[in-house]
Amino acid sequence: MTRSFLFPALPYAQCPVKCYASIRSTVWKRFSPVVSPSRRHYTRKRTTPTFSAGTGPHESKEKTKQQRIDELIQERRSRPRRLFSPGKLILYSIFGYIGYRFYNWQTNPRRSVTLNPNFFTPFILSSKEPISPSSTVFNLLSVPKGQNTDIVSEAWRTGVWSVQVMQPDLQIARSYTPLPPVEGTPNELVRLFVRKELQGEVSGFLHRISPGTLVHLRGPHLEYNIPDNVDEVLFLAGGTGIAPALQVAYTLFAARPAGGGQLPRIRILWANRRMEDSRAGLKPSDVQQFPAKLASRIRNAVFSEGVGTPVITKSLDEATTTMEDVKQNPLVEEVEQLVMKFAGNVTVEYFVDEEESFITENLLRSHLIYDSSKENPSSSIAIPQKKLLLIAGPDGFVNYYAGPKRWQGGKEVQGPLGGMLLKVNPQDWEIWKL
């Protein structure tokens, strides 16, 4: 007989019974796992369960189930833990979303109710006061009222400060210098003098909204800390730069407690592009003749026998003292009230580009060589006094008279002195660009 893989050797070929049993065993061993796995169920040896005393079949099944549970628990504990399993990823995502929502809530402009330099605070626009066709004063109150009285009052005692206004659609901000409060208004009132620019997003937003709209502010940001020992201030203001000039006057005359000494002297040279932004009622002849008299004033100041004598400046106000019927814009009226209230300590001169009236180099020299000690002989000599020369206005105005500012380390710094003041070279004056 030939040998094959199915029947390797049949030692019992002579006996039919043994030969059948051997073939059946060989076939089952080779093909039962592959051909018919389900037949294993029929080949299992059935055993009768035995029970010890005090046990039954139900208790044996419960024990087996508990054992299986323990085995599953042990098997899961023995598995290596994965850091980013699907369940953990879902949990991490939920925690991340909750943290993101909490951060947005914390930085939400509507959450803060007190004015601070870090987050935007909601203010409500109470009223709008037109100054000219291109400029308006916006009166803002905090929400709820009375939350920022101490913060604003402290800012007024410090010096020149500003706030940032947010444009909600584009999420951009611009800084504006508030005007001083007027009598009969809350101390926390923030008054912004804003000129509407052609491509100004923030100024356009302010001019579009109506009273009752929420405006978000951030600040106060200190621009310049006015020292206490100030004796004289010369302020060059261009357009909206009159706001920080009025801030300086309010801080020195009203916000800080009076010490009983001599009040400082403030001279403001306010230049505007159009006549509608300046004092109304100025005659063109008066404006044209005023620069022509500068030469004689300079000669009298420099070549006269009394070099230290004060230069008597002819203010443009003299041309309109008899024109009581001329109505001024509200901001000019506010400036004139300041001049009348502190007569002798505050003077304002107006200049208009349309009338070809400018702040010239000779005019600056006449103001810088002016000695106020002749008018204030009672000023204390023991305490050294300071003279401040401040410049505020559009970038072109500041660059022309004092040179541009510079960016250093992500911050805007003063930069070197340039422009017209570099030619004049004022001595003993502290110069600051706002």
Chain-centroid distance, C-alpha 104: 16
**What pTM was computed for the model?**
0.65
Which DSSP category does 178 fall into? E
What single-letter amino acid sits at 87? G
Cα–Cα distance between 389 and 367 in angstroms, integer?
A: 11
User: What value does the CA radius of gyration of the chain take, rounded to a whole number of Å?
Assistant: 45
Q: Tokens for 372, please give them.
A: 């106020």
Helix axis angle for 284-292 and 294-303, nearest 10°, is 30
Nearest to 383 by CA among 240, 228, 276, 268: 228
Query: Which portions of the chain are predicted below pLDDT 50?
Result: 1-7, 10, 12-13, 31, 33-45, 281, 283-324, 372-375, 377-382
Cα–Cα distance between 417 and 402 in angstroms, integer?
A: 6
- Residue 278: the pLDDT is 78
Residue 196 half-sphere exposure toward CB, CA atoms < 13 A? 15
- Residue 164: the pLDDT is 93
- Residue 102: the pLDDT is 78
Cα–Cα distance between 123 and 214 in angstroms, integer?
A: 6
Sign of the CA dihedral 215, 180, 365, 362?
positive
